[in-house]
Chain A
Amino acid sequence: MPRYFTDEHEWIDVDGDNATVGITDYAQSQLGDIVFVELPETGSQVSKGKDAAVVESVKAASDVYAPITGEVLESNPALDDDPALVNSSPEDEGWFFKLAIADKAELEGLMDAAAYKAFCDSL
């Protein structure tokens, strides 16, 4: 299952026609303790590069952007009760939402793990 990254520090796992989206370990470490996550509703449309979710830490509230366009299939219900999952398991249990991919061509231009690591090291 290939994983891609954006320069806004989201990750996206592609599984056939669907994908799972979250924020990276680097993102959670910069945000600090996450206290609230606002997720898109099932059935809503998200567009590549546009805001799809909001994450709030003790320091700041930040938008989370959709890495690609699609329809939201499911939001992570565990984040309602335990937003700290984003800190403890950002790239696994702390996923944000799953979506049906509208156009796979949009995946081109996203970074792979090695490119994202190099990107973070350059910051």
Chain B
Amino acid sequence: MSTPNASGWKPGTPAKDDHGMDGPPTVTGNRALMLEEPLIFEIGTSQTTGVDLPDVPSSTSSRLGSFTRADEIGLPGLSEPEAIRHYTRLSRQNYAIDLGLFPLGSCTMKHNPRLNEKVARMPGFADVHPLQPVDTVRGALEVINELAVWLIGLTGMDGVAMSPKAGAHGELCGILCIRAALEARGDAREVILVPESAHGTNPATAAFAGYRVENIPATGEGRVDLEALKSRLGPDVAAVMITNPNTCGLFERDMKAISDAVHAAGAFVYCDGANFNAIVGKVRPGDLGVDAMHINLHKTFSTPHGGGGPGSGPVVLSEALCPYGPLPFTARTKDGVVHLVEEENAEAFDHKHAFGRMTAFHGQMGMFTRALAYILSHGADGLKQVAEDAVLNANYVLRSCDDLLEAPFGPSGPCMHEALFSDAGFAEDTTTLDLAKALIDEGYHPMTMYFPLVVHGAMLVEPTETESKASLDRFIMALRSTAERAKAGDPTLKTAPHYAPRRRLDETQAARKPVLAFDGPCAPAGTPQLSEQGGS
């Protein structure tokens, strides 16, 4: 039916099945433009190379000098077109934000405007080196400083550390600032409080920074239990780490009261700002008493992430924490010149108490240019609309489905940028996983599943601000249809996906006995090569 390959691994999708796929089998296993693709080791052979190297000089017997190769190295040799075709074919089996709505949302990927890419590729930004003389990179420093000013303005804070390389790195930077501030007043505190509705990285950061983590329960409506928090505050508490909007997709309404109570107890407020995209332009965390908050540039300001782009997690700081922020940073003097403040000139810029550095250099330059391009192309009014549209879209999904899918925090009021459902009401034995697999058949990447943990069989949908109403309506139609099948116990859900390049994979076996390296032989010598196929 389909071509067996050297590893004995066969495509899981039969050419004809009971669910609509019809037609005779093909000898290649391909189905017109749906191409089957073996592993790269099964295409190339170790005897071939795609590079035309000069002959070994007659004065030597080996390209390896005095060394002799004892064994095959097991790397496949492919020509350039073979390698390009291999990866292009694989990419066609993928699902991407450029193909359709991605309900995993901005945490994984959202639309990256092409303007950002154009700007980031300008040689003056793309080709600079962090050790270049400052006078030759004034434009780049200007970009870092301009972005810093925007971030400070949007958050209502006093300063920003631009260098952290990701959200969790930013969390660590913020907690180190808090520790430096406590140490400066000779106040050793050892506990950080983390509510249940916080991101999982928060307790990890606190523990990594040497603090003991204690949980604060959530209320029935999915928010921090203010009374429980207040009763736990004391002289041993260094900080509270709160994710706002939280992982239940809700805005922590009591944020100001929380901050006031925390400050009264001599502690600091760390806010996980990963979900800032839901409130940018609408709420300034500085006005809510936040002392430190990281911003995931990829979530709020559309720098590429899901495709493997580097993270960037600048941390905005309150007046109390600014003196301890890490080096280096940029500062504009009265004459308009942007300076790079490092160890040598920190005293001249009145910044003697930096806790150190988070990274060797200034941060993710490529993300700074993209984020600033996004900010400037939207403007302050546009950013406000980003938050409004992200929240409107999520609420549209929530209220278009909450008659069918249980929305555990639906009664708590409007959600922020994420709509959360549970598996309550599904037929027995039908799970969130089954619904997610059926969504693949409908042409959508599944949403976040089984997170947050406080909701049984959780489905967390983040449509992002990018999607139009027509796009959302198509997705809602697909989600409602699969939800109806889940509630009715449709047995075909258990065998979904039916139309994907592969059927249901054995995720348990993959986790229990992962095969991480190809251990079979490369394609045998004598496999037809490009020259024999008539290539040029």
A residues whose Cβ falls under 8 Å from a Cβ of B: 33, 35-36, 56, 58-60, 83-84
Chain B residues near A33 (CB-CB < 8 A): 507-508, 511
> B interface, how many residues as a size bin?
under 10
B450 contacts A by Cβ under 8 Å: yes
Closest B residue to A62 by beta carbon equals: B453
Cβ–Cβ contact B512 & A84, under 8 A: yes
As a 0/1 sequence over residues 413 to 453 of chain B, the CB contacts with chain A under 8 angstroms (1 = contact) are 00000000000000000000000000000000000011101
A26, chain B: closest CB distance, angstroms:
13
Cβ–Cβ contact A60 & B511, under 8 A: no
Chain B residues near A83 (CB-CB < 8 A): 512
Give the CA-CA distance A12 to B11 in the complex, in Å.
46
Cβ–Cβ contact A58 & B453, under 8 A: no
Cβ–Cβ contact B511 & A36, under 8 A: yes
Give the CA-CA distance A33 to B513 in the complex, in Å.
13
Closest B residue to A33 by beta carbon equals: B508
B194, chain A: closest CB distance, angstroms:
14
Cβ–Cβ contact A60 & B508, under 8 A: no
Chain A residues near B451 (CB-CB < 8 A): 60
Known: A58-B508, A84-B508. 17 other contacts (CB 8 A): A33-B507, A33-B508, A33-B511, A35-B508, A35-B511, A35-B512, A36-B511, A36-B512, A56-B511, A58-B507, A58-B511, A59-B449, A59-B450, A60-B450, A60-B451, A83-B512, A84-B512
Closest B residue to A59 by beta carbon equals: B450
Closest B residue to A82 by beta carbon equals: B512
Chain B residues near A60 (CB-CB < 8 A): 450-451, 453
A85, chain B: closest CB distance, angstroms:
12
Chain B residues near A56 (CB-CB < 8 A): 511
3 interchain residue pairs of minimum CB distance: A35-B511, A33-B508, A59-B450
Chain B residues near A84 (CB-CB < 8 A): 508, 512
Chain A residues near B508 (CB-CB < 8 A): 33, 35, 58, 84
B428, chain A: closest CB distance, angstroms:
13
Chain B residues near A35 (CB-CB < 8 A): 508, 511-512
Chain A residues near B450 (CB-CB < 8 A): 59-60
Chain A residues near B453 (CB-CB < 8 A): 60
A48, chain B: closest CB distance, angstroms:
16
Give the CA-CA distance A36 to B513 in the complex, in Å.
10
A30, chain B: closest CB distance, angstroms:
8
Can you give 20 contacting A-B residue pairs, CB < 8 Å? Answer: A33-B507, A33-B508, A33-B511, A35-B508, A35-B511, A35-B512, A36-B511, A36-B512, A56-B511, A58-B507, A58-B508, A58-B511, A59-B449, A59-B450, A60-B450, A60-B451, A60-B453, A83-B512, A84-B508, A84-B512
Chain B residues near A59 (CB-CB < 8 A): 449-450
Give the CA-CA distance A83 to B513 in the complex, in Å.
11
Chain B residues near A58 (CB-CB < 8 A): 507-508, 511
As a 0/1 sequence over residues 502 to 515 of chain B, the CB contacts with chain A under 8 angstroms (1 = contact) are 00000110011000
A81, chain B: closest CB distance, angstroms:
10
Most buried by A among B450, B507, B511: B511
A80, chain B: closest CB distance, angstroms:
11
Give the CA-CA distance A58 to B510 in the complex, in Å.
10
Chain A residues near B511 (CB-CB < 8 A): 33, 35-36, 56, 58
Give the CA-CA distance A119 to B453 in the complex, in Å.
20
Most buried by A among B449, B451, B453, B508: B508
Give the CA-CA distance A8 to B79 in the complex, in Å.
58
Give the CA-CA distance A59 to B451 in the complex, in Å.
9
Give the CA-CA distance A68 to B343 in the complex, in Å.
51
Give the CA-CA distance A118 to B450 in the complex, in Å.
26
Give the CA-CA distance A35 to B508 in the complex, in Å.
7
Give the CA-CA distance A33 to B431 in the complex, in Å.
13
Give the CA-CA distance A51 to B451 in the complex, in Å.
21
B207, chain A: closest CB distance, angstroms:
11
B509, chain A: closest CB distance, angstroms:
9
Chain A residues near B449 (CB-CB < 8 A): 59
Q: B437-490: which residues lie under 8 A (CB-CB) from chain A?
A: 449-451, 453
Give the CA-CA distance A116 to B453 in the complex, in Å.
22
Closest B residue to A87 by beta carbon equals: B508
B27, chain A: closest CB distance, angstroms:
36
A33, chain B: closest CB distance, angstroms:
4
Chain B residues near A36 (CB-CB < 8 A): 511-512
Most buried by B among A35, A83, A84: A35
A109, chain B: closest CB distance, angstroms:
20
Q: B505-535: which residues lie under 8 A (CB-CB) from chain A?
A: 507-508, 511-512
